[in-house]
Structure 1
Amino acid sequence: MNGISKLLLGLHCHQPVDNFASVVDKAIKLSYRPFFEVVSRFPSFKFSIHFSGWLFDYIRMHDNGLFELIKKCHDNKQVEFFTGGFYEPILASIPSRDRKGQIGKLNDFLHLHFGAKPKGLWLTERVWDASIIDDIVSVGVEYVIVDDYHFISAGFDKRGLGGYFLSENGGNIIKIFPINKDLRYILPFKKPNVVIESIKKNGEVGVLFDDGEKFGLWPKTYEWVYEKKWLEEFLEAFTSDETLTTEHYSEFAAINKPLGMAYLPNVSYYEMGEWSLRANDTIALEHLHSNVVLGYGFETADKFVKGGIWKNFLVKYAESNRIHKRALELAKFADEVDFAEFTESLYKAQTNDALWHGVFGGLYLGCLRDNAYKFIIECENIYKNKNPDKKLIVADINLDGYDEVRFLLSGLTLMFESKSGGQLSEFCLRDRLFNLQNTLTRRYEAYHDKIFNPPAPAPVKEDEIETIHNMDLTKFEHLRDEIAYDWYDKNSFIDHITNDEFCLENFRKCTFKEFGDFANQPFDIDSVCEKEAVFVRKGAIYDDAIDETIVKKSFTVSDNGIGFNILIDTQSKKEYRYVCEMNLHLPDIARVTVNGDSLRNNGCIQNSKIITVEDKVLDKVFVFSFDSAVDTYIYTVDTVSQNEEGFELSNQALCFGFSLPLKQKMTLSGRFDVSL
C-alpha cells in the first residue's frame, strides 16, 4: 500500500422515457447542470457518468449549454462515459436481440456526439443475471458495476472488495466492480471531511456509482449540495489532499489485476430484494434481518438473509406482468414489420420504470404506465397497418397458462383474460394511444404500517442532512382513511353476487359480502370468432348451502365498443344483488364528468339505463347503456403509495358498479361504447 487512496466515482442520471418536461427541466436545473458547472472547475477530479439515452438526447435538444459543458469535460479527459440500454430496460427482462440493440444505440449516440467508445456498462437498477454476459460482451462492454451486496450474498467478505473481479458465461469474460455501500450511504449526506475520512478508511480503492439526482434533486439536497457549497468544499478538500486521487474505471481496469473470480446470484441491491416480496414477507424479512443483526452482526445478516429477485415484481403485480408480456409479444413481431419506427417504440416500451415499485413511485404512477401502453399501442398500430387482416389473437399472451382473447379493430384493441374471470383487461384507444384498462389494484404494502404507526426519525446531526430513508412520517396520518384493499384485480366486467347490504361505502372499501366465486376465478372460453367471445364458469353461491351457479358472458365487439350479455343461472332460491363492476383508467379525474356533472369523488345514480362519461383530456365520450334499468355506484379508486417525499395519494381508476336483483335467473344486456 503506497498511502494513496483512489476514488472511482460514477454517477447515473435517469428520467423515465417521455417524462413530463417540467420534471426533466427541474432535474436539469437542480441537479445535472449545477453539478457539471461545479465539477468542471476541478479538471483534475476524474469521474464517470451514465445518462440514460432518452435523457441525454433531451439535454442535447433542450439545454445545449449543459450538453457542451459535458462535452468539454469529456474532451479534457475528466469524464468517462458508461453505456447501457438506451431507454433503461432491465437487461435480463428483454430478449437478447433487444439487449444488444439498446446498448448499441447508446454506444452510437456517445460515439456520434463525443467520439467516445464506452467500455463500461451501467446495469439498470443493478439487476444482475449471468445470462446477459454474452450479449453485453458482444457489443464491446468490458466491465460492469454492481453492489458489494451482490458479492456478500454470494459468500464474499465485505473487506477485500476494493477492486474488480472476473466472471464468465460460456467462456465470455466480464469484469465486475462492487460498489461500496458505506460510501453510497454517506455521499453527499455527510460533511466533506467525514466523507473524505471514510474514503481513506476504505483503503486503496473506493468504488462508488450512484444516482446523480442525489446531488440536488432529492429532498433537501439542492440547498445542502449547492447553496451550502457541499460539492465545492468536497472537491476543494479532495483535490488538495495529496493522499487522494481519482481514476476512471477504464484506467484502473487497464493497470490492475482482478481480485479473483466471482459467480454472482440473480440479485440487485438489498432494498430491491425487500420491495419485490409480498408485503407480509417484506415485514418478516425486516424482522429477521434485525434479529440476525442483533445476534450475529450486520455482515452475517447481509450475507445470509436475502429477499426476492427483481422479476418477482412481475408476480407481485399483475399490471406489471401485463406490460412486460405485451412488450415480449411485440418483440416477436419485429421481423414481420421491419420498420425502424416499430423498433424505436418497442425499445421505449421496455423501459423499467413502470414495472416495479420501491422508494419511488414507479408502477403506482399512472403516467408511467400510460407511457408504457402508449409505446405498446404505437407498435401495435404499425403491426396492424402492416397486417390489416389480423383481427383476432387467441393465445397465452400473459404467459400464465391461460389463453387471452385479443381483438384488433380499426379503432380499438380489446383484450379479455380467461384466467381473470373472463374480464376486460385492455381497452386501447388506437388514435389516442391510451389504455382505458390501465388500472391498478389497491394492495396492502408493507410501508402502510408506517402510516398507522410512524417510526420516530433518527436525529439528524449538524454535519449531515436527512435522507429519504429517515423522514418524519407523522405528517401523513391524514392518509389513513384513504387506504383500502381489493381482493380481486381492478379489471372490467367483474361479476359480484352480494346482498341488499351492498352500498357505496362498503363497495368503495371493498368490504361488501361476496357470495359467488366469479370475481377472481378462471372462466372457460366457450367460443370465439372475429367479432365475438363467450366465457363460461360453472361455479357456486356460498351461503347457507353451496348452490351451483353458472355465469355466461357473451361479448360482441365493434369498432366503437362492446356489446355484452351476461346470464346467471343459480340453484339458490334466495334473493341476491348482482353487481357488474367496471373500472376506467382516465388521465385526469378532475376533468371528467358523469351524466354532465363534475365528479365529486363518489356517488349513486338510481334506476338508470344510460351512464355517460366525458373525458376532456382524451376528448372522448364513453357510454354505458343497458336494456333494463340498473342502480349505479361510482367511486374513485385511489392508492396510497410511497415516494421520495414520503407518501402520496394517486387516482388509479373510476369505478362503476351496475347493480340489479338476482333470483335464480338474471340477464344483464347492454353496450359500452366510445366516440371515436
Structure 2
Amino acid sequence: MATTFISFIYRPASSNLDTTELLEKEYQKLYKPLAKFLFAHPEFHFTFYFPGNRIQFYKKKRPEFLTLLKQLIERNQIEISGGAYYDPLLPLLFTADRNGQLDLLSAEIRQSLGKRPRGCSLFADCWDSSMVNNLVTCGFEYVFLDSACLPSKKLNLLPLIMSNLGKSIDIFPIYHNFIECTDNFVDDFIQKVEKLNAKLEKKGQVFQQTPDRILCIDLKRSCLESLLNEDKFSELAQKLAESETVKTTIPFTYKKNSGVKESVYVTEAINKSYLQLSDKVNPDDINTFYDLQESFETVKKLFSRILYVGMLVNQYKSDKMRKNSARDKLWQGQNGKGLLTTSAVLRQQSYKLLMEAEKILREDNAFKESLTCFDYNCDGMNEYICRMQNYFACISSVGGSILELDILKNTGNYADNLSNGNYKRGLFVDHIFTESQFEDYKKGIPAGDGIFSRVQYNQIKFSQSHHELQLGANALFGSSKQKIYLRKKFLINSTGMIIQYILRNESEKPLNAIFALESNIAHTKYNPDSLVYYNLETATDDQKCVIDTSKSLLEQNGNQFLSDIDSIRLSDTEGCISFTFEPNEKSHYIYYPLVSEFNNSPVHLSFVSTMFWNVSIEPGKEIEKTINFTITNLKKERKPKITQ
C-alpha cells in the first residue's frame, strides 16, 4: 500500500542583532515545549536546523537542551540539518567562504550533538548551480530547496537529483504554505495530503516503481507555536499513528530506504518569502538575488563590500591567527538578512563587522595607505578605492561622488543612502540648477537632474603615489543648451580630502546658475524609537551657530537659507565622529533630514547637507571652488559617577 511520509522541518534565520533575551524567549516558547512533545510521542519525527548563533547559545545557556537532542538523535526520531554557520547567501560568496561556513557549522553540530549532518539547509533557499560542488565537497548528501524554485512538473513528492561538473546531490523540495492552523487542522491536513497523493498517482508513471513518497513541510514559527500551544500536534501524532497511508519520517531515513529520484537542473533561485521589500517594488520582478541588486542600490553596495573584504581576507598571508580572527568577522558580516531587507539597521551591522575584519588585517603594522582604481561594484565602470589610515572610501566615476565611507574607529558606512530615483546619493554630489529648479530642490522636491549628478566623469589624472585623482565632465545646461565643463580634483589624505572644482563656461553666452555641492550623511545607528539627531554647527566670521537638525533649515528660518558660511561641522555624538566642510569662499547653505519609510514606519535616515553659490561666468571663463573635508574623532563624553 502506498505510504506518504511527512517530514516536518523548522528553519529559523539568524541575525547579527539576535540577543540572548530573544534566543531565550524562543527557547521557552518553542523549543522547550517541542522537545517535551517529541519525547512524549516517539513515533513522531522532526527535522531541526540551527544556525551557528543558536548552537552557541544552547551550549552556554541551555546545555540540557542539547542533551535532549542527543537522545532524540540516538532514537532516530529527529534529524539536525546542516548549513552555513552565519546564514549567508552562499552562492554569492567565494568558494573558500562557502566551504568554510558549511564546514564550521557541520563541525559544531558534530561536536555538540555527536553526529555530522547529512542534509543541508540554505538561507532563503538561495541557490546556484555551482553549489552542487560545494555541498558534495563538504560531505552533504542532499539539500532542501523551496518547491516554488523548482519546475512544477518535477514536484511528484519524490527526491530530485541534480548533477553539475561530474558531481551530484539530492534535492528535497520544501512546501512552505501547506499547513493552515484551522480549528479542524488534523482532519484537513490528512485529507489534503491524501488528495495530493491521489492527484499525483493519476498523472505520474514513476510511482509504479515505488509506492512510497515524501512531503517535506517547512513550518513557520507562528504556526508551530500555535500547534504546540493548542495541543494540535498531539492530536496529529495520535491520528498519524492510526493511519496506514500517512506517516512521519526524517529525510535521511527515507533516502536510505528509497532509491527512486527524478533528475532536475536548477540554475538560480531564491525564496521570496524572505524578502522584505518596499511597496514600490513588485515581488514578481525579483526571481534571483541579482534582480534584487538591480532594484536596490543599497543592496548592491553592501554586496560589493562583502566581496571586497572577502578578497582582502582570503589573500592575506602574513599572520594565520590574525587572518582567522578577520575571517570570523567577515563571515558574521556576510549574514544574508542585511541583503534581503530595506532595514538600514541590519545593513549597518554588516558594514560594522566587515570594517572590523579589515581593521584586524590593518593592525599588523604592514598597512600602507593606497588609492587604487578598478571595477569595485561590477557595473562595467571603474571606481576609485581609498584605503586611508582612518577610513575607507569608494569614489564613483558616475557623478564623481563618494558612494561609500566607512570610518575605521566607528566602523559604519556614512554613505549608506537610498537613491532618490534621479541620481545616487553620496558625498560631494555636484549639481548646477536654474533658479526655478533650485527652489524645488530646497524643498526636497526632485528638480531636474542637476546635470553633473548623473553624468559619467572621465579620468584626467590618477596618481597612486600622490593619492591624487582628477575627473572631468562635459554637460549642456538650461533650455539654451549651454556647453559647460567641470573638473573635479581629489587630494586624499589620512584624515579626509581636499576637493577642488573648476567650472568653465564653454558657450558663447554668459552662464548664470546655482552651483550646489550636496553631501548625504547616513545615520549609522538609526533607531526610530530613540533617535539621536546629529549635531550641526556653522561658523560665520568667527560666530558659531548651533542648528536643530530634527527640522529643515527652511522650516526653522521661514523659507530662508544661511549665507556667508565659513565652515560646517556635522557631528555624530553616538559614534564620536565629526565631519567638517570648509569652503575656500563663503557659501550659502541648506540642510534637511531625509526619512524613508517601510510599511508606514521610518527605517532609514540621511542628512542632506548642501553648500551652494550663485555663479555668473562669462564665455570662455572659469571659476574655482575648493572644499576641505576633514574627519575628526570626538572624545566620548563620560557620564558622571553617581555616589551614594
TM-score tier after normalising by the smaller chain length = 0.7 to 0.9
Deviation at 1:629, TM superposition (A): 2.5
Give, in whole Å, the separation in 2 of the partners of 1:429 and 1:27: 35
1:454-494 deviation digits (Å, cap 9, x = unpaired) = xxxxxxxxxxxxxxxxxxxxxxxxxxxxxxx4321111111
**CA pair 619-172 structure 1, distance change in 2 beyond 3 A:** same
Unaligned segments of structure 2, at least 5 residues: 198-211, 538-545, 555-560, 634-644
User: Does the alignment pair 1:576 with 2:513?
Assistant: yes
**CA pair 279-522 structure 1, distance change in 2 beyond 3 A:** farther
Map 1:59-458; keep pairs closer than 5 Å. Answer: 59-64=58-63, 66-152=65-151, 156=153, 158=155, 161-180=156-175, 183=178, 186=180, 191-203=185-197, 205-210=213-218, 212-215=220-223, 224-225=226-227, 227-239=229-241, 241=243, 243-269=245-271, 282=282, 308-333=287-312, 334-337=314-317, 338=320, 339-356=323-340, 362=341, 364-386=342-364, 387-418=366-397, 420-441=398-419
Give, in whole Å, the separation in 2 of the partners of 1:562 and 1:230: 65
Deviation at 1:152, TM superposition (A): 2.2
Deviation at 1:133, TM superposition (A): 0.6
**CA pair 552-171 structure 1, distance change in 2 beyond 3 A:** same
Q: Which residue does the alignment assign to 1:9?
A: 8
Contact 1:276 1:313 in 2 (8 A): no
1:79-116 deviation digits (Å, cap 9, x = unpaired) = 20111111112221111222111110011000111111
Give, in whole Å, the separation in 2 of the partners of 1:597 and 1:270: 44
Contact 1:164 1:178 in 2 (8 A): yes
Across the aligned residues of Structure 1 and Structure 2, the Cα RMSD in angstroms comes to 3.0
* Amino acid paired to 1:660: W
1:569-619 deviation digits (Å, cap 9, x = unpaired) = 123524211111111112235242222444224224501222222222112
Contact 1:606 1:632 in 2 (8 A): yes
Q: Which residue does the alignment assign to 1:482?
A: none
Deviation at 1:13, TM superposition (A): 1.2
**CA pair 520-254 structure 1, distance change in 2 beyond 3 A:** farther
Deviation at 1:428, TM superposition (A): 1.4
**CA pair 487-369 structure 1, distance change in 2 beyond 3 A:** same
SS at match of 2:380: coil
1:55-92 deviation digits (Å, cap 9, x = unpaired) = 33234334445445444543443320111111112221
Q: Which residue does the alignment assign to 1:623?
A: 580
User: Does the alignment pair 1:590 with 2:496?
Assistant: no
Give, in whole Å, the separation in 2 of the partners of 1:34 and 1:597: 54
Give, in whole Å, the separation in 2 of the partners of 1:31 and 1:635: 45
**CA pair 231-554 structure 1, distance change in 2 beyond 3 A:** farther
* Amino acid paired to 1:654: F
Q: Which residue does the alignment assign to 2:553?
A: 603
1:504-538 deviation digits (Å, cap 9, x = unpaired) = 86445442234524435344353233453333233
User: Does the alignment pair 1:529 with 2:479?
Assistant: no
**CA pair 626-201 structure 1, distance change in 2 beyond 3 A:** same
Give, in whole Å, the separation in 1 of the partners of 2:439 and 2:27: 45
Deviation at 1:351, TM superposition (A): 2.1
Q: Which residue does the alignment assign to 1:492?
A: 427
**CA pair 489-42 structure 1, distance change in 2 beyond 3 A:** farther
Give, in whole Å, the separation in 2 of the partners of 1:669 and 1:404: 22
Unaligned segments of structure 1, at least 5 residues: 217-221, 287-306, 357-361, 442-484
Give, in whole Å, the separation in 1 of the partners of 2:80 and 2:183: 25
Contact 1:39 1:235 in 2 (8 A): no
Contact 1:602 1:634 in 2 (8 A): yes
**CA pair 568-53 structure 1, distance change in 2 beyond 3 A:** same
Give, in whole Å, the separation in 2 of the partners of 1:350 and 1:379: 11
Give, in whole Å, the separation in 2 of the partners of 1:624 and 1:660: 15
* Amino acid paired to 1:315: E
Contact 1:499 1:513 in 2 (8 A): no
**CA pair 490-33 structure 1, distance change in 2 beyond 3 A:** farther
Give, in whole Å, the separation in 2 of the partners of 1:562 and 1:125: 41
Deviation at 1:249, TM superposition (A): 0.3
User: Does the alignment pair 1:671 with 2:628?
Assistant: yes
Deviation at 1:41, TM superposition (A): 3.6
* Amino acid paired to 2:476: I
User: Does the alignment pair 1:519 with 2:521?
Assistant: no
Contact 1:14 1:55 in 2 (8 A): no
Give, in whole Å, the separation in 1 of the partners of 2:66 and 2:616: 69
Give, in whole Å, the separation in 2 of the partners of 1:92 and 1:531: 39
Deviation at 1:230, TM superposition (A): 4.5
State the identity as a percent.
16
SS at match of 1:434: coil
* Amino acid paired to 1:312: D
SS at match of 1:675: strand
Contact 2:385 2:393 in 1 (8 A): yes
**CA pair 75-261 structure 1, distance change in 2 beyond 3 A:** same
Give, in whole Å, the separation in 2 of the partners of 1:190 and 1:365: 38
Deviation at 1:539, TM superposition (A): 1.9
Q: Which residue does the alignment assign to 2:610?
A: 657
Give, in whole Å, the separation in 2 of the partners of 1:49 and 1:549: 64
Comparing 9-18 with 28-37, greater Cα deviation is found at 28-37
Give, in whole Å, the separation in 2 of the partners of 1:8 and 1:406: 49
Comparing 88-97 with 135-144, greater Cα deviation is found at 88-97
Deviation at 1:197, TM superposition (A): 2.5
Contact 2:270 2:288 in 1 (8 A): yes
Contact 2:462 2:469 in 1 (8 A): yes
SS at match of 1:200: helix
Comparing 333-342 with 596-605, greater Cα deviation is found at 596-605
Give, in whole Å, the separation in 1 of the partners of 2:439 and 2:110: 59
Contact 2:430 2:450 in 1 (8 A): no
* Amino acid paired to 2:612: S
| Alignment TM-score, normalising by the size of structure 1 | 0.79
Give, in whole Å, the separation in 2 of the partners of 1:189 and 1:435: 49
